[in-house]
Amino acid sequence: MNAMDHEWRDLMADWQSEPEEAVSSPLSEETRKRIRRKVQRHGHWMVLLTLSELTGCAAMLVWIWKESLEQPRAIGTVGFVGTVILIVVALAFSFWNRRGTWKPATESTRTFVELSLERQRRKLAALRFCPWFLALELAFLIPWSIWALVSQPSEPWRWLFAFGWMAGMSALMLAWWAWYKRKTLREMAEWEELWRGLHESG
């Protein structure tokens, strides 16, 4: 759990531990500042995540390009083009899904909370996309790997490595998906509770 999560847990614990009449009253200035800091840090994290995605995709393309040169021409070309298509699909969805959520439109606590709720909804949209994208990856990688392995004499360990890697990465991704979905739903419920508190207080 990172520092942002710790601060959010502390903020929610303090807010929820207040008497009912205090919870329904306007938030304290310190609470508003903490919400503002969390929203801003999340925006910075989104920028860093996007930059890391672009860097990782560029590095993958360079590596796949070098690997494709060692394959028979048709197999290498199909492998490289297929990888490019998968990366374009992933990045296009990523940028589309984050549109309008980079920073708040106005400097107000209500706007910060509403933006945070929308960010949680976008996370859920990304989580819905992940299994479909994994299926798309495997639909390409499995037949391509078989084609590449049978096109030239291959030792058994190459088959074990290729399909073991796909199985292992798929299992890790699904495990992460399940954990992150629970985390996102929990955080969304907390933001919704805070949003209701703001609206009840007028």
* Residue 104: other Cβ atoms inside 10 A: 19
DSSP type of residue 101: -
Q: Is the four-CA dihedral 145, 147, 150, 152 of positive or negative sign?
A: negative
Q: Which helix (H) or strand (E) holds 21?
A: helix 20-23
Task: List, for the chain, all residue ranges whose pLDDT scores fall below the cut of 50.
Answer: 1, 18-25
**Residue-number span of the structural domain to which 195 is assigned:** 3-200
Q: What is residue 166's predicted lDDT score, i.e. its pLDDT? A: 94
Which two structure tokens, joined as six digits, stand for 23? 């919870």
Place of tokens 């920073």: 103
Distance, in Å, from the CA atom of 76 to the CA atom of 99, rounded to the nearest integer, reads 35
The pTM score is 0.81
Distance, in Å, from the CA atom of 166 to the CA atom of 182, rounded to the nearest integer, reads 25
Q: What is residue 156's predicted lDDT score, i.e. its pLDDT? A: 83
* Residue 79: other Cβ atoms inside 10 A: 21
Which two structure tokens, joined as six digits, stand for 129? 């996309």
The Cα-based distances of 73 to 45, 65, 130, 170 in angstroms read 41, 12, 31, 28
The Cα-based distances of 146 to 99, 140, 163 in angstroms read 38, 10, 9
Which two structure tokens, joined as six digits, stand for 173? 């991704």
The Cα-based distances of 169 to 113, 131, 190 in angstroms read 35, 13, 31
Phi, then psi, of 79 in degrees rounded to 5: -60, -45
Longest dimension (CA), the chain: 75
pLDDT tens column, 125-170: 999 999 999 999 999 999 999 999 898 777 888 889 889 999 999 9
* Domain count within the chain: 1
